[in-house]
Amino acid sequence: MEITLESPLDMHLHLRDGDMLKLVAPLSADFAGAVIMPNLVPPVTDPGAMVAYGERIATAMGDSPFTRYMTLFFTKQSEQQLTLAKETPGFFGYKLYPAGITTNSEGGVANLAEAESTLKMMEEMGIPLLIHGESHGFVMDREAEFLGVYKHLAQQFPKLKICMEHITTAAALDLMEEFENLCATVTLQHLIITLDDVAGGALQPHLFCKPIAKRPHDRDALLQAAVSGHPRLMFGSDSAPHPRCKKEACGCAAGVFTAPLALPKLAEIFARHHALDNLQGFVSGNACRIHGLTPAAKHVTLHDTPMNVPTSYRSYGQQVVPMYAGEQISWSIKH
């Protein structure tokens, strides 16, 4: 069995910077493009820094055609700043983080009411808003508690394109049904694991991420929505590499590294659910339609020949451990 995907996209990707960027960028090169997260240290807040970062990504990527959809770290903006961002080549949208909610988000939004004038202008200018939707409440309830904010924003700004990033709950899917201006990304790991896989037995630091994996019925609802071809659900890996020493540590950093195995594993999952016909929409078609994207032309053929996932990837003095390290996945990329 095999399937050829046209221009697969990763709608939520962390590529980092420096030596880590050099290590991980080529491991996303089977994708035709990706939405690049801005949570560097310091975060990417202005168009000049964004363009420079995009150029470093292009260099690290090598020859492979790869369309960069760059995001800016959301802070309150003037109309002039928004106009400049919108006119900057490669700009895709703003990523809003509640202050302190995840890795390198300390400079995020502490008071959403203060952001509303910016959101109003973004709505008028057609600039997408990507949100890390978690409250500061109990870890298992953070996404559910944030749904009221999504609902408020969807009602207040009916023309603003709001993407709920890396959703992890059935309730988030239900909310998406209520508002046409909401769409969502979902990661690979949240289609597969629950909190039990992270902390039910020996603690698995390489499966620890924000938002934390939830309950079986959440995972099952997300999987069902993905394989059934939900038109507003898009693949966003949230592949979030951290050095091995930061993961296998007291105070483990949040993030699961999935970029090199995401497409084979997705093919395995969709094939198992007799849903390979819906994979193109999930990894590209929905995003292209929703956002009007025309990524680099790239054909990627996947086949049901096993892939051995390396125990780690290392170079440039960096080492990262992927999901399924040392295990076999029953599909692979046909090169």
Q: Can you give the binding site for ligand NCD, defined by CB under 6 A?
A: 14, 39, 102-103, 132, 209-210, 238, 240, 254-255
Binding partner of residue 39 among ligand NCD, Zn ion, none, CB cut-off 5 to 8 Å per kind: ligand NCD
- Smallest distance, Å, CB 92 to ligand NCD? 16
DSSP for residue 282:
I
332 binds, among ligand NCD, Zn ion, none (CB under 5 to 8 A by kind): none
Of 133, 10, 128, the C-alpha closest to 71 is 128
Smallest separation, CB 38 to Zn ion (Å): 10
Give least dist CB 333 to ligand NCD, A.
Answer: 24
**Between 242 and 298, CB nearer to ligand NCD:** 242
Return the number of the residue (39 or 278) whose C-beta is nearest ligand NCD. Answer: 39
Give which of ligand NCD, Zn ion, none residue 44 binds (C-beta under 5 to 8 Å, depending on kind): none
Q: Is the peptide bond before 241 cis (omega within 30 degrees of 0)?
A: no
Amino acid making up residue 181? N
Cα torsion for 178, 273, 186, 248, to the nearest 10°? 150
Q: If binding means CB under 5 A, how many residues of this protein chain bind Zn ion?
A: 1
Nearest-10 Cα torsion for 195, 260, 308, 189: 10
The question of whether 196 is a catalytic residue gets the answer no
Q: Element (H or E) spanning 136, and its range?
A: none
Any residues with CB less than 8 A from the CB of 4 and at least 6 apart, and which? 299, 300, 301, 302
Residue 97: name the closest of 133, 144, 46, 67 by CA.
Answer: 133
**How near is the Cβ of 238 to Zn ion at its closest, in Å?**
4
Stretch that binds Zn ion, among 78-86, 88-96, 235-243, 279-287 (CB under 5 A): 235-243
218 binds Zn ion (CB under 5 A): no
Q: Residue 238 interacts with Zn ion (CB under 5 A)?
A: yes
Smaller CB distance to Zn ion: residue 123 or 238?
Answer: 238
Concatenate the DSSP letters of all residues of 173-222 into one string: HHHHHH-TTEEEEE-SHHHH--HHHHHTSS--GGG--SSPP--HHHHHHH
Nearer to ligand NCD (CB atom), residue 119 or residue 209: 209
β-pair partners for 184: 164, 233
Does position 143 interact with Zn ion (CB under 5 A)? The reply is: no
Show Cβ contacts of residue 209 under 8 Å, excluding neighbours closer than 6 positions: 187, 189, 238, 240, 254, 255, 256
Catalytic site residue from 30, 46, 238, 304: 238
Q: Nearer Cβ to ligand NCD, position 319 or 330?
A: 319
Encoding tokens for residue 311?
């125990």
Tokens of 320: 């990262």
CB of residue 174 to ligand NCD, shortest distance in Å: 22
Instruction: List interacting residues with Zn ion (CB under 5 A).
Output: 238
Catalytic residues, by residue number, are 238
